[in-house]
Chain A
Amino acid sequence: MRRSFRSTRRLAAVGVVAGLAVLAFIGTASAPAATHGSAALTAAHKCLVMEGSGDPAFVKNFNPYTATGLPSGQFIQGSFYEPLVVVGEGGLKPVPWLARSWKWSNGNKTLTLQIAKGVKWSDGKPLTSLDVVYSLTAGQQNAAMDRIGLTGPGNNIQSIRAHGPYVVAITLKTPDSQFIAATLNRQFVVPQHIWSKVADPTTFTNSNPVGSGPFDVVGRFTTQDYVFNKNPHYWQPGLPHIPCLEYVQAASNDSALALAQSGQVDWTHNFVPNVAQAYIAKDPQHFHAFYATSAYPISLLLDDTQYPYSLVAFRKALSLAIDRNSVSKLGEYGYAPPVDAIGLGGLFPQWVTDASVKAQAKAMATYNPAAAKQLLTSNGFTYKGSQLIDPHGNPVSLDIHVISGWSDWVASNQIITKNLSDIGISSKVALEPDWGSWYPNASSTKNPTLLWQGGSQGSPYGYFYANMSSNAFVPSGQDGTPTGNWEHFQDPQASALLNQWKVTLDPKKQQAIATQLEKLWLNELPIVPLFIGPRWSTYSTKYFHNFDTPKNFWGDPIFSTFPDNILSFTRIEPGGKAGA
């Protein structure tokens, strides 16, 4: 025992001294913490602060082609790299951007773009038509840089040429009414003198990005925060209004919500359950939620080639049997409004004009279990007790698969399966633990599931194309992701109509085609549209104002959506404003 007496004294002394030093340090450091807390928060609001949820530590990767899923790439498109034209979600009027004006000619096959003058890259070189041509044709250098389908099988582009420093002519093989809204809309312009020298654009991290956009100066970059400063030489005078964009790490749902609640973050696109209580109530004057319903519907998807899902009457009966109002109110906290049987009510109501179509779409989506049962029995279905038997004599079952963590979808499915049970279908919610076990069987509709739509935002053409065209058709059992033909459905008549629409630029004719497609849709009902998948945006007008709102709507309110986000970045203004 005694042997260690001396050593103990030494060790203990070291320990005590170290401990005291630490205590003293914490003491001094904690004093300013209490007083400076709120001051630091205010100071941080020079920049418009945004956050995601569950972000890893930030790594510098500003490659606009590959980094969009990373925190550092959230809005590299839209801050550094600019679109030619902005067609806001929902087919709004196109806003000219780098392309100041455009004109169709040559039988609607050639699109001539007038490029903005006096635009400079952040390294001082001028942005010219050559950069635009390079960006449009970059797919030839590397397929990963293809934004316009140049390397895809259905390439419709004949040629892309520069005529002088400010004119670009794009010639198509056949006229394409969707070209501006669905294709050109996605394109951003990168500097040729940088990117043409990049050996492998897929691994290039672009850590010193050269851009032309409203925020093209990388300010601070740490693993938990970064700042893009305003472009001092921006070509649009007076823009942007705010000095910088900032993105902070929120490592979990909890920390994301806590940051938003404390007002440290101005803008998020996180889903906040019960947002009125969890967010708005914390500062009703300044905290707002805009859950934009200009979006495609979430639908119940089945493999339409499998019996009895292949029976139109069965799908129609499902549509009648589901109580969409309850699903919306209880399952989706009321944020996601129910839709009619066509499902375009949120994004493209103006495209459903025919009164009889409207009425029919509404009727087909109105909760009426008795009518559903009757529809089934008049089409060969029978009942054995309360169990529904299909015309082949087999009991009908339909289990809906969903990721267990998606609480709102789980809740919605609880209601739906109960509705289906009410008309005799044996139905329950099958919970999947994670994305990996859910998605492959969902995207191929091996399991019935709720799923979103991937159609373009310019017009409902993409929606009908994905769900009905033979060109988009994906055979049963295969992954529907490439075209969005999840349900493995095609219709020759619809395909013909869509081909016609594709080459028709006249809005009236397009409208007529759309109406015909809607009638076909209601006849076949390839999917069962349920409710709008809202575009979540919560924002604070404590330090900034003029956000994208229902009254002041210019496109998708999610800050990572290109090109809609560049409108927000250039329109949001500094200064708090109560009640806006």
Chain B
Amino acid sequence: MRWFARRLCFYVFAIWVALTVNFLLPRLMPGSPISGLLQHLSPAQLAANPGIVQTYEALLGGGHHSIWQDYVTYLHRISHFNFGISTSNYPTPVSEVVGRTLPYSIFLVGVAFILSFLIGTGVGMVAAWRRGGFTDNVVVPAFMTVSAFPAFVLALVALYFLGLKAGWFPIQHAYDSNIVPGWNWTFVSSAFRHAQLPIIAIVAAYTGGWVLNMRTVMINTIGEDYVGMAKAKGLKDRRVMTRYAGRNAILPPLNGFAAQFAGAVGGLVFIEIVFSYPGVGYTLQSAVLGNDYPLAQAILVVLSVCVIVANLIMDVLNFVLDPRLRTS
């Protein structure tokens, strides 16, 4: 139990640090935060967002107060989930923008990562089991080569050949333009259709990592006694591979999966940009380029919280599953 309490303390501390980094980032750059931010803006942007100076002042303290006062105000506001107004989506509250975009990213990452994980561990397992075989010699290097390319290159290639040339997939957005989001079949199927191309790109970009990882772990596992024993017992080769070696080897990648999953929710910015997929990464980039600092800050905080929550879930799972932690 003490272990668990310690973890909780750590997470609270981590969130506090993330918030503080967020608070300090614009201030660490040369010049006063507000004039620095306004300098990014074009006259047209200033004209289009009448309340922008006040918003920044509220957000950054406007230099009227000491940095400590600002800091306390900032923490207070965030603790009430008040992230302010998104200047590029004026006058939508930041929380609403994040709430709208987050589900898309989680959906995209969820589906794509599970697929990529399944394919990757499967291929890695087979490759390790049949060293020097076709999978090991051809499929693994192929995945490695594909994954060596930046995600946005793969995404653009997929967009061009599969989306534009072949016309098999919609090339942008999360759903058809003429649909209003809602829990109905039309919207859900449209959302799936629009997610396909990004998912293909993500799978292409990320599977290589899982293949290499699983292969390494699997090779190590094959050396274990019980695998040799199972083989000696004369069990079917396939059965030994999946039931004995594979099942155990999958644990470390699975742990890594949880950690990566949360990080990737915001890390897919490159894929989301290419497909104009209205997820968190895409919103973050447009917030940064559009000088919407309240929104950018809020997204960073929310993503940090996502990572922490994912870690927490893994901790709980480990706690439940691992007797040693329970007794200590």
Instruction: Give A contacts to B, CB under 8 Å.
Output: 1-5, 7-9, 11-12, 15-16, 18-19, 22-23, 25-26, 29-30, 32-34, 37, 40, 43-44, 56-57, 59, 61, 66-70, 144, 202-203, 205, 220, 222-225, 246, 248-252, 255, 258-259, 261-262, 435-436, 439, 481
Quick check: A32 and B276 within 8 Å, CB to CB? Answer: no
Quick check: B50 and A44 within 8 Å, CB to CB? Answer: no
A13: nearest residue on chain B (CB-CB)?
Answer: B247
**Which chain B residues border A68 with CB–CB below 8 Å?**
48
Quick check: B173 and A436 within 8 Å, CB to CB? Answer: no
Quick check: B117 and A15 within 8 Å, CB to CB? Answer: yes
B327 interface hit (Cβ, 8 Å): no
**Which chain A residues border B41 with CB–CB below 8 Å?**
436
Quick check: A255 and B192 within 8 Å, CB to CB? Answer: no
**Which chain B residues border A258 with CB–CB below 8 Å?**
163-164, 171-172
A377 vs chain B, min Cβ distance (A): 42
Q: Which of chain B's residues 76-112 have a Cβ closer than 8 Å to chain A?
A: 88-92, 97, 100-101, 111
A439: nearest residue on chain B (CB-CB)?
Answer: B42
Quick check: A3 and B173 within 8 Å, CB to CB? Answer: no
Task: Knowing A22-B114, A33-B168 are in contact, say whether A56-B290 is a contact too (CB < 8 A).
Answer: yes
What 10 A-B pairs have minimum CB-CB distances, sorted nearest first? A251-B276, A29-B192, A69-B48, A225-B177, A7-B321, A202-B50, A19-B118, A33-B193, A59-B89, A255-B172
Stretch at the interface among B12-20, B206-214, B278-286: B278-286
B107 vs chain A, min Cβ distance (A): 11
Quick check: A59 and B90 within 8 Å, CB to CB? Answer: yes
B273 interface hit (Cβ, 8 Å): yes
B44 interface hit (Cβ, 8 Å): yes
Task: Knowing A56-B89, A225-B178, A255-B171 are in contact, say whether A15-B196 is a contact too (CB < 8 A).
Answer: no
**Which chain A residues border B40 with CB–CB below 8 Å?**
436
B322 interface hit (Cβ, 8 Å): yes
Quick check: B44 and A56 within 8 Å, CB to CB? Answer: no
Quick check: A26 and B178 within 8 Å, CB to CB? Answer: no
Q: How far is the CA of A40 from the CA of B170 in the complex (A)?
A: 11
B 266-310 binary contact with A (CB < 8 Å = 1; else 0): 000000010010100011001000100000000000000000000
A145 vs chain B, min Cβ distance (A): 13
Quick check: B247 and A30 within 8 Å, CB to CB? Answer: no
Quick check: B177 and A224 within 8 Å, CB to CB? Answer: yes
Quick check: B42 and A435 within 8 Å, CB to CB? Answer: yes
A423 vs chain B, min Cβ distance (A): 35
Quick check: B248 and A56 within 8 Å, CB to CB? Answer: no
Q: How far is the CA of A400 from the CA of B90 in the complex (A)?
A: 36
B47 interface hit (Cβ, 8 Å): yes
Quick check: A224 and B248 within 8 Å, CB to CB? Answer: no
B250 vs chain A, min Cβ distance (A): 6
Q: How far is the CA of A213 from the CA of B150 in the complex (A)?
A: 49
**Which chain B residues border A3 with CB–CB below 8 Å?**
322-324
Task: Knowing A33-B196, A249-B276, A252-B276 are in contact, say whether A436-B91 is a contact too (CB < 8 A).
Answer: no
B256 interface hit (Cβ, 8 Å): no
**Which chain A residues border B178 with CB–CB below 8 Å?**
40, 43-44, 220, 225, 246
Task: Knowing A1-B248, A251-B172 are in contact, say whether A61-B90 is a contact too (CB < 8 A).
Answer: yes
B328 interface hit (Cβ, 8 Å): no
**Which chain B residues border A2 with CB–CB below 8 Å?**
226
**B173: which of A16, A18, A249 is its contact (CB, 8 Å)?**
A249
B184 interface hit (Cβ, 8 Å): no
Q: How far is the CA of A125 from the CA of B258 in the complex (A)?
A: 59
A35 vs chain B, min Cβ distance (A): 11
Instruction: Give B contacts to A, CB under 8 Å.
Output: 39-45, 47-48, 50-51, 88-92, 97, 100-101, 111, 114-115, 117-118, 163-164, 167-181, 189, 192-193, 196, 199, 224, 226, 247-248, 250-251, 254, 273, 276, 278, 282-283, 286, 290, 321-324
**Which chain A residues border B163 with CB–CB below 8 Å?**
258
B297 vs chain A, min Cβ distance (A): 17
7 interchain pairs, CB-CB under 8 A: A9-B247, A25-B192, A59-B89, A69-B44, A69-B45, A223-B278, A436-B41
Q: How far is the CA of A65 from the CA of B167 in the complex (A)?
A: 41
Task: Knowing A26-B196, A255-B171 are in contact, say whether A436-B42 is a contact too (CB < 8 A).
Answer: yes
B88: nearest residue on chain A (CB-CB)?
Answer: A56
**A223: which of B100, B117, B118, B250 is its contact (CB, 8 Å)?**
B100
**Which chain B residues border A439 with CB–CB below 8 Å?**
42-43
Q: How far is the CA of A439 from the CA of B178 in the complex (A)?
A: 38
Q: How far is the CA of A44 from the CA of B179 in the complex (A)?
A: 10
Quick check: A30 and B193 within 8 Å, CB to CB? Answer: yes
B177: nearest residue on chain A (CB-CB)?
Answer: A225
Quick check: B193 and A222 within 8 Å, CB to CB? Answer: no
Quick check: B278 and A40 within 8 Å, CB to CB? Answer: no
**Which chain A residues border B176 with CB–CB below 8 Å?**
40, 44
Quick check: A32 and B224 within 8 Å, CB to CB? Answer: no
A19: nearest residue on chain B (CB-CB)?
Answer: B118
**Which chain B residues border A248 with CB–CB below 8 Å?**
177
Quick check: B114 and A57 within 8 Å, CB to CB? Answer: no
**Which chain A residues border B273 with CB–CB below 8 Å?**
251-252
**A66: which of B45, B50, B164 is its contact (CB, 8 Å)?**
B50
Apart from the given pairs A57-B283, A225-B177, A436-B40, 17 other A-B contacts in the complex at a CB distance below 8 Å: A3-B323, A15-B114, A19-B118, A22-B111, A22-B114, A30-B192, A37-B168, A57-B97, A59-B91, A61-B90, A202-B51, A203-B91, A205-B91, A251-B282, A255-B276, A261-B164, A262-B164
Quick check: B250 and A32 within 8 Å, CB to CB? Answer: no
B228 vs chain A, min Cβ distance (A): 13
**Which chain A residues border B174 with CB–CB below 8 Å?**
224
Q: How far is the CA of A3 from the CA of B224 in the complex (A)?
A: 14
Q: How far is the CA of A252 from the CA of B192 in the complex (A)?
A: 22
A48 vs chain B, min Cβ distance (A): 13
Q: How far is the CA of A343 from the CA of B74 in the complex (A)?
A: 55
**Which chain A residues border B322 with CB–CB below 8 Å?**
3-4, 7
Q: How far is the CA of A23 from the CA of B115 in the complex (A)?
A: 8
Q: How far is the CA of A258 from the CA of B164 in the complex (A)?
A: 8
Quick check: A33 and B50 within 8 Å, CB to CB? Answer: no
**Which chain A residues border B283 with CB–CB below 8 Å?**
57
A247 vs chain B, min Cβ distance (A): 9
A520 vs chain B, min Cβ distance (A): 31
Q: How far is the CA of A509 from the CA of B76 in the complex (A)?
A: 69
Q: How far is the CA of A34 from the CA of B176 in the complex (A)?
A: 14
A16 vs chain B, min Cβ distance (A): 7
A122 vs chain B, min Cβ distance (A): 21
Q: How far is the CA of A436 from the CA of B48 in the complex (A)?
A: 16
**Which chain B residues border A26 with CB–CB below 8 Å?**
111, 192, 196, 199
A200 vs chain B, min Cβ distance (A): 9
Quick check: A34 and B168 within 8 Å, CB to CB? Answer: yes
Q: How far is the CA of A104 from the CA of B286 in the complex (A)?
A: 51
**Which chain A residues border B324 with CB–CB below 8 Å?**
3
Q: How far is the CA of A34 from the CA of B97 in the complex (A)?
A: 32
A42 vs chain B, min Cβ distance (A): 12
Quick check: B247 and A5 within 8 Å, CB to CB? Answer: yes
Q: How far is the CA of A577 from the CA of B175 in the complex (A)?
A: 30
Q: How far is the CA of A261 from the CA of B164 in the complex (A)?
A: 9
**Which chain B residues border A259 with CB–CB below 8 Å?**
172
B236 vs chain A, min Cβ distance (A): 18
Q: How far is the CA of A144 from the CA of B89 in the complex (A)?
A: 20
Q: How far is the CA of A436 from the CA of B39 in the complex (A)?
A: 7
Quick check: B42 and A57 within 8 Å, CB to CB? Answer: no
**Which chain A residues border B171 with CB–CB below 8 Å?**
255, 258
A151 vs chain B, min Cβ distance (A): 16
Task: Knowing A4-B321, A249-B276 are in contact, say whether A33-B169 is a contact too (CB < 8 A).
Answer: yes
A248: nearest residue on chain B (CB-CB)?
Answer: B177
B43: nearest residue on chain A (CB-CB)?
Answer: A481
